[in-house]
Amino acid sequence: MHDHEWLPLIPIVRGEGPWLVSADGARYFDGVSSWWVNLFGHAHPRISAAVAQQAHTLEHVILAGFTHPPAVDLAERLVELVGAPLTRVFYADSGSAAIEVALKMSFHYWRNVGLPRKQRFIVLEGAYHGETLGALSMTQVPLYRETYGALLLDPIVAPAPTGAFGVIDAGASQAAAAALGALLETHAESVAAVLLEPLVQCAAGMRMHDPAYLAQVRSLCDRYNVHLIADEIAVGFARTGTMFAHQQAGVMPDFLCVGKGLTGGYLPLSCVLTGEAVYAAFYDEYRTLKAFLHSHSYTGNPLACAAALASLDVFASEPVLARNAELGLVLDTALAALADHPHVRGIRRTGMIAAFDLVDAHGAPYAWQERRGLRVYQHALTEGALLRPLGNTVYFMPPYVASAEELRWLVAVAARGVERAVT
């Protein structure tokens, strides 16, 4: 069977909170927040109004030699949220572009301060950082990377800090930190930065790790004079239970990349936050080789900034974190029903990300060619839910406006999908 027979395209014409409505009037609960971008549901009145108002005021202006209030306000709001010492904001337009910016800035910083040999990056096994060539070079998911291997940079790959089936495992985190320490001991002079996804390696299959790992990575980066780049494109903006994932380890990265949920899922916008030392190493009125030349046409687009500001206003006016904490417990309770299922392993949750893995009758992962997760996807559609497993990993990343009842139903849909997938 061809994929298009398995996977009919569903034309969506409207959105209402966590629900998508198709041309034929069918409703689908967006259980994956439309690839992790949507925070407060679709067509949110407050965010939609802010974008509309901005469109009537200023839709776009060049962000070189010119500036505009939404870009300035958003930078100030982000700096306030993230906290010292990340006081500088560089805008880009997609998550991948933010990763490119952080990689280039780290490399170029070391060059500007007289350490030009620091040119390589360390990433984690299973890392996902996007799919433009630089970002794809850092991505270690073979499905995305393998075909383009000949075009890519060659990062150093450190072991992932996660346990079997992606569960949090303090021993695994400890071992991974020790392995990273050994790699830095050997390579630090040629390494610009360690790049990682704090707390949850999402595209790898929602593989979760202990915040203690991040704290250890931070101290290793300090010891070996290497930057720490936190890719919070998927996990930022309250997804993991705190506004930013790195906060759970009580550490700060040197570069923080955010995207996806930054605009509440409305428009493409990303940014890289960094500190004064990096800013100062580039600041120069005349010598352009010292300056950071990286420009995207839509950098700091006012409509996107207005959406991001409105999304931050929702955070400021509603108890989002507290509500998410309650919804997280609802997910735990619902998922507990699957704990003894012979075809389910690794039930896990960090904030508003929950997942489990499908296994065969012997408890082993299915070969990816069997595409068991796809059957869960197909089943969920028949019940009006959008779940889009990653290989054998079935996961839930709902918009924050979901109700407890909707989440219980969503997990029950997935459980019925498991029965369809394993027989």
Q: What are phi and psi of 256, to 5 degrees?
A: -120, 120
Are 274 and 88 spatial neighbours (Cβ–Cβ below 8 Å)?
A: yes
Give the footprint of ligand PLP on residues 191-230 (CB under 6 A).
Answer: 197, 202-203
Candidates 221, 233, 269, 355: give the one binding ligand PLP (CB under 6 A): 233
Is 372 an interacting residue with respect to ligand PLP (CB under 6 A)?
Answer: no
Residue nearest to ligand PLP (CB): 95
Q: Give min distance, CB of 392 to ligand PLP, in A.
A: 19
- Of 16-24, 90-98, 149-157, 366-374, the window that binds ligand PLP (rule: CB under 6 A) is 90-98
Q: Tell me the C-alpha distance between 206 and 231, whole Å.
A: 14
Q: Give min distance, CB of 311 to ligand PLP, in A.
A: 16
Is 254 an interacting residue with respect to ligand PLP (CB under 6 A)?
Answer: no
Please identify, using beta-carbon distances, which residue of 231 and 406 lies nearer to ligand PLP: 231
Q: What are phi and psi of 7, to 5 degrees?
A: -125, 80
Tell me the number of residues near ligand PLP by CB under 6 A.
Answer: 15
Gyration radius of the chain's alpha carbons: 21
Burial class for 391, CB neighbours closer than 10 Å (0-12, 13-18, 19+): buried
Is 234 an interacting residue with respect to ligand PLP (CB under 6 A)?
Answer: yes
Q: Give min distance, CB of 398 to ligand PLP, in A.
A: 16
- Of 17-25, 68-76, 148-156, 231-239, the window that binds ligand PLP (rule: CB under 6 A) is 231-239
Q: Tell me the C-alpha distance between 397 and 350, whole Å.
A: 10
**Secondary structure of the chain: what % helix, strand, coil (to 5)?**
45, 20, 40
Q: Tell me the C-alpha distance between 407 and 398, whole Å.
A: 8
Lookup: tokens for 247: 């906060």
Give the footprint of ligand PLP on residues 108-137 (CB under 6 A).
Answer: 128-130
Q: Tell me the C-alpha distance between 352 and 143, whole Å.
A: 26
Candidates 33, 34, 38, 94: give the one binding ligand PLP (CB under 6 A): 94
Please identify, using beta-carbon distances, which residue of 112 and 248 lies nearer to ligand PLP: 248
Lookup: tokens for 295: 């420009």
Are 300 and 116 spatial neighbours (Cβ–Cβ below 8 Å)?
A: no
Q: Give min distance, CB of 195 to ligand PLP, in A.
A: 10
Is 306 an interacting residue with respect to ligand PLP (CB under 6 A)?
Answer: no
Q: Tell me the C-alpha distance between 71 and 14, whole Å.
A: 29
DSSP letter for each residue of 138-181: H---HHHHGGGGGGS---EEEPP---GGG---HHHHHHHHHHHH
Please identify, using beta-carbon distances, which residue of 32 and 203 lies nearer to ligand PLP: 203
Q: Give min distance, CB of 329 to ligand PLP, in A.
A: 25
- Of 15-23, 79-87, 91-99, 221-229, the window that binds ligand PLP (rule: CB under 6 A) is 91-99
Q: Give min distance, CB of 231 to ligand PLP, in A.
A: 5
Residues forming the site for ligand PLP (CB under 6 A)? 94-96, 99, 128-130, 197, 202-203, 231, 233-234, 259-260
